[in-house]
Amino acid sequence: MPTSAYEDEEVEEIYEQLEGVMDTVNKNDSLIILGDWNTVVGEGQEGHAVGKYGLGVRNNRGQRLIDFCKEKELLITNTIFQQHQRRRYT
C-alpha cells in the first residue's frame, strides 16, 4: 500500500483495484491477502474485522482498512492472536 506520503486518491485507487481482483475469486474459495497496508488499526476489538490485540492509536487509513474489511467480511489476522508488542507491526 502507498505510504502516508501519497494522496488519499491513490490509496482509493489501490482499494478499487483490489476489489476488482476480489470479484474474480469464486465465493466458495478461500482468499488470503497479504502485505503491508501502512496503516494503524489501533488497540481494541472492532466487530469481527479487528481482534483485541492491535497496536497504537487508529489513524484514518487504519479506519479505511477496517471499513473495507467489514464490507468484504475479511479480518485482520495479526490482531487476533496475542503477540509481544514488538511483533504486532505488519
User: Residue 52 has what pLDDT?
Assistant: 92
Quote the pTM value: 0.88
Q: Which amino acid is at 34?
A: L
In this prediction, residue 90 has a pLDDT band, given cuts at 50, 70 and 90, of low
pLDDT at 87 over 80: no
- 79, 51 in Cβ contact below 8 A? yes
Asked whether the beta carbons of 33 and 74 are under 8 A apart, the reply is yes
Residue boundaries of the structural domains of the chain: 35-90
Q: Quick one: pLDDT at residue 14?
A: 95
pLDDT classification of 42: cutoffs 50, 70, 90: very high
pLDDT bucket at 83, cuts 50 / 70 / 90: confident
Average pLDDT, the chain: 90
Exposure string for 6-31, b = 16+ CB within 10 A, e = fewer: eeeeebeeeeeeeeeeeeeeeeeeee
